[in-house]
Structures are given as C-alpha cells and as structure tokens.
Amino acid sequence: MVPLPVALPNPSRTHYKRLSVVLTKTIPDAVIAELKSIVGEGGWLDSSADLTAYLEEWRGLFTGCTPLLLRPASTAEVAAILSCCNANNVAVVPQGGNTGLAGGAIPGLNDQNEVLLSLERMRDIRAIDTANFTIIVEAGCVLERLQQAAADADCLFPLSMASEGSCQIGGNVSTNAGGTAVLRYGNTRDLVLGLEVVLPDGRVLDELKGVRKDNTGYDLKQLFIGAEGSLGVITAVTCKLFPKPASVATALIALDSISAVVDFFAAARTALGDEILAFETFPHIAMDMVQQHIDSCHSPFDDEYSWYVLLDLSSQRSQSMVDTGLLAFLEAQLDLGLVTDGVVAQSGAQRDAFWRIRHAISEAQKLAGASIKHDISVPVSQIPLLIEKASAVAESIAPGVRPVPFGHVGDGNIHFNLSQPEAMSAKDFLALWGVMNQRIHSLAVSLGGSFSAEHGIGLLKRDELARLADPVGLALMRSVKLAFDPNGIMNPNKLL
C-alpha cells in the first residue's frame, strides 16, 4: 500500500500542507483596494457573514477562508482581476455554483490567502441560434436556466443532474460534469462547441464560434474543459442544442441482482437503441433510505426488491408508438424472467416522482449518517464484479459497513458510497476515508476503469491522481499547467 503524502479530508480538518507554489501569503492592502475598484460597488464581499455560503463544500468536508470574494460582471473585469493578481503573485480560486464534491472550488485550504472569484453575476444568455442549434451563455448561468432558455426556443439542452437548480455552466464545463444523460448525449465536453476564457495573465481567448468542423490546429478549448480552473477562467460557453423530443417515457423496474441489471441494459440497448436517454440503477438500501428520510419520496411497489432501474426514453416518434414499444419490451423481459416487476409512468407527475427518488439518494444518505464516497467507472460488463469486490473490500476495512452503490449504468459510472456501520461512530468511520479510497480506487483502475468518473479531482483526489495516473500523462499535464500559468496563480494545489 502506498501511503498518501497529504492526509485525506475529514470534517474537522480545514487546512492542508502547501506544496511547491510560491505565492503571496498576505495580500497587500493596496492590491485588495485595486481588486475592489475593478469590480466596483456590489462586486465584492469581505465580511464573514457574507462569505460563509461560499466557503463550505456541499458535503461539509472542506471549509475554507478568503480575505476577498470578487463578483465581476463582465469579461473585461475578469481580465483586469487576473492581470492584477498575476502581477502581484496573488492566488485565484474560481467558483461556480459551489456544488462540487472534490473541494476544487474552496479557497484557503493551503495556509495562504487566495482570492475567491465567483462568476454568479455573469449569467446572461448572449445568443440563441435555432438554425445552428447553438446557444451562447455566460459562465454564471445556472444550468436550469440554460435548460429553460433552450426549451423556450423549442430546443433541448440535455445536460441534467441533481444540482441543476444551483450549479452553473462554467463550473459544469470546468469539471466536465457528467449527469444522467451521458449515455445519449455525452459528458459536458461533448456539448461544448466554443469557449471564451480569460488566461492567467489577463489575455482573453475568444473561441466562441459555433461550428462543428474546424481543423485549424490544436483544439484549445478542450484544455480548459475539465481543467478545474487551473489554466484560466471560463467566462462564456457556446453549447450544442438538440431538437426537443416529441415524446418521453419512463419506467421504474425491479430486478433480482446487479448482474440482471447489466443483462437488462444490454437487452434494452438492442431493443430500444438510441431512444434510451438514461439508464440509472440503485439497490434496495437506497430506496429504503430515501423513503425514511425524504418525505416526498415513496416506492411505487408494494414489495421490496434487490435492485431497481430507472429507464428513461425520449424520441421524435409519437407518444403512442414509444409507449407501445416500451410496454412490449418490458413484457418480453418479464416473460423471460430477467425483470421481476415494473411500473411505467402515466403522467409527467409520475415521471418526476420516479426521478425524485433517484436524485434524492445522496441527500438521504447524508441524513442517514456519515458516508464515504467513491465516484468510479469501469466498463459496463465489469460493474457486477466491481460491486462484488468493492463491497468485500469495504467490509474487510469496516465490518458492518452499508454499501449504497448507485448511478449511471449506461456509461459505467457507479457512485460506490458507503454508509457507516450502525455499531461504529461517524468519527471512527470517517477516519477510514483514506484507506477505503485507496483500496477501492485501485480496484476500479485494475478493472480498466477510473477512480474519478465525473466529480473531478480538486483537492480530495489530487494525491490519488499522482498515485494512479500514467506518469507520462501526468508530466504532460504539469507541462501544460506551466505553459499557461507560469506563476501558478490559478487554483493552486488543486488537481496537480
């Protein structure tokens, strides 16, 4: 077992060892004053009461600090901020909706003062081109608002996740967010045609053109997608739009095992093809937690089952054709014995109720006690083996642990979450975070997968990246970082 050089987080730990970046530890008053003048009245916050909501990660694992939060209202203001910070060796931490789960947008975790940069005031929708099926939005636009703007134009923006009411598109792009529609439409990376980015020295890279063919050298926008704010600040995005579906259909299906879930997925792909929008799974313990802790969630089944699948379809065919095809497919799987039971939503309200169960799992688990999280992916065929072996590993480390594996079977992404044993205190259980992560991350990689499927690296998994990444690839990443940000001001000690 290779020990981690920096301890993984627990709720009581708020500061982390500063590594090699040499930055201004105390920001001079004159620099603070200049930064405030750039954004003007209403463009900055510095009182502890105002900053609290920006300084704690959603799960409570990271609590940071900053002398100053800047809220620019334009790309020009972002450029002036970065130019000033770069000239004075002041670290900058960009933040979107603060819904991340890896500590990547929390400042002040390295015993140094870091300016926090929020794009929340830059939320305009600049343009919609329905003939080109593109939309240009500023980075602070909340994902749900972007989805609604597309819908108002009779189009679809398919990126969807539980945090869509508060996460921002700039953060989605910076972390290459996944969500529930990856099987059909891909990750955020696949939905981006262009970016506007402010570089660490204040220069602006304008690559917002909405073309789908552009072989003019390096595709520079790809470097910033998933870079977690370490190379620059994304200020605007050109996103792909799609035709609004003519019909949707949703079913919640019960199965006897995770192997049956994978076999059912293969059958669904063969029979239903690209009409599958989402294929989500969760075990009985998740259904039980949701019903215990979330008042608005109730199982539509009279009996309890081992595993559930939430199957979502969308199509340009008529509703009656889609409904008929889905029912015929499910009846065939019932006759074959692959499916144990199932219900099909008969209204939008029922569809929303099914999805509410799926989206409430993380919140319910949080209310059920302490949990250790894993955002891992493997080839779909390896999911049963992953869950079997990871459950055994977890049990060997924490006897009585309660695995709650759920997620996106269609793209191989399993959130292998673990709830504390009933006989163990939360403090003792969370103390096992590091060893649990090491063992299960290594298992995922050994099965041809990834230890970070969609949540990113941030600070939480930075040392795991150093431990598990290909050394050549890691060296190239460091070279890119040095080329773009030689003074190391952008989100230091995160990701790398």
CA distance 35 to 79: 11
In this structure, are 226 and 275 located in the same domain?
A: no
Six token digits for residue 113: 């003062």
Cβ(493)–Cβ(19) under 8 Å? yes
Q: What is the mean pLDDT of residues 255-266?
A: 98
> In Å, how far are 123, 190, 305 from 235, measured between CA atoms?
9, 18, 46
What pLDDT band is residue 11 in, cutting at 50, 70 and 90? Answer: very low
Answer yes or no: is 463 within a domain: no
Q: What SS3 state is found at 117?
A: strand
Name the domain boundary from 198, 217, 243.
243
In this structure, are 198 and 236 located in the same domain?
A: yes
What's the pLDDT score for residue 25? 77
More confident residue, 162 or 258: 258
What's the pLDDT score for residue 162? 86
CA distance 173 to 8: 26
Of 75, 202, 232, which Cα lies nearest the Cα of 220? 232
In this structure, are 206 and 284 located in the same domain?
A: no
In this structure, are 239 and 260 located in the same domain?
A: no
Cα distance from N-terminal residue to C-terminal residue, the chain: 21
Looking from the CA of 280 toward its CB, the CA atoms found within 13 Å total 27
Of 356, 378, 358, 349, which Cα lies nearest the Cα of 440? 378
Reported pTM: 0.89
Name the domain boundary from 222, 243, 264.
243
Answer yes or no: is 344 within a domain: yes
Of 72, 73, 92, which Cα lies nearest the Cα of 82? 92
Six token digits for residue 309: 């699948």
What's the pLDDT score for residue 26? 87
What's the pLDDT score for residue 23? 76
What's the pLDDT score for residue 128? 98
Q: What CATH number has the domain bearing residue 251?
A: 3.30.70.2190
Answer yes or no: is 58 within a domain: no
Answer yes or no: is 373 within a domain: yes
CA 459, 460, 463: angle at the middle one, nearest 5?
75
Q: Mention every residue, 6+ apart, whose C-beta is less than 8 A from residue 344.
A: 249, 250, 251, 323, 326, 327, 330
**pLDDT over 50 at 324, yes or no:** yes
What's the pLDDT score for residue 2? 31
In this structure, are 413 and 310 located in the same domain?
A: no
Q: How many domains are there within the chain?
A: 3
**pLDDT over 60 at 296, yes or no:** yes
Of 205, 138, 215, which Cα lies nearest the Cα of 171? 138
What's the pLDDT score for residue 22? 62
What pLDDT band is residue 6 in, cutting at 50, 70 and 90? Answer: very low
Q: What is the mean pLDDT of residues 336-342?
A: 96
Q: What CATH number has the domain bearing residue 411?
A: 3.30.70.2740
pLDDT in tens, 103-157: 999 999 876 799 999 999 999 999 999 999 999 999 999 999 999 999 999 999 9
> In Å, how far are 392, 408, 411 from 417, measured between CA atoms?
13, 14, 18
Domain that holds residue 155: 125-243
What's the pLDDT score for residue 474? 95
Answer yes or no: is 7 within a domain: no
Q: What is the mean pLDDT of residues 324-351?
A: 96
Cβ(185)–Cβ(196) under 8 Å? no
What's the pLDDT score for residue 392? 98
More confident residue, 61 or 440: 440
**pLDDT over 90 at 17, yes or no:** no
What's the pLDDT score for residue 58? 79
pLDDT in tens, 451-464: 999 999 999 999 99
Which residue reads 């990834």 in tokens?
450
Six token digits for residue 210: 């909405």
Q: Between 75-87 and 29-39, two packed helices, what is the crossing angle to 10 degrees? A: 170
Sequence letter at residue 148: Q
In this structure, are 251 and 233 located in the same domain?
A: no
If one counts every other C-beta atom within 10 angstroms of the C-beta of residue 92, the result is: 27
Answer yes or no: is 380 within a domain: yes
pLDDT in tens, 349-408: 999 999 999 999 999 999 999 999 999 999 999 999 999 999 999 999 999 999 999 999
132-154 in b/e form (b: 16+ CB < 10 A) is ebbbbbbbbbbbebbbebbeebe
CA distance 293 to 188: 31
CA distance 155 to 248: 15
In this structure, are 260 and 226 located in the same domain?
A: no
Q: What SS3 state is found at 428?
A: helix
Q: CB burial class (10 A; 0-12, 13-18, 19+) of residue 445?
A: middle
Q: What SS3 state is found at 185?
A: helix
Alpha helix segments (H runs only) across 130-276: 143-152, 169-174, 182-185, 221-224, 258-272
What's the pLDDT score for residue 414? 97
**pLDDT over 50 at 265, yes or no:** yes
pLDDT in tens, 197-251: 999 999 999 999 999 999 999 999 999 999 999 999 999 999 999 999 999 999 9
What pLDDT band is residue 12 in, cutting at 50, 70 and 90? Answer: very low
Cβ(444)–Cβ(378) under 8 Å? yes
In this structure, are 383 and 451 located in the same domain?
A: yes
Q: CB burial class (10 A; 0-12, 13-18, 19+) of residue 28?
A: exposed
Which residue reads 């552009």 in tokens?
214
Q: What is the mean pLDDT of the chain?
A: 93
Six token digits for residue 61: 């694992």
**pLDDT over 90 at 82, yes or no:** yes
Beta bridge partners of 376: 414
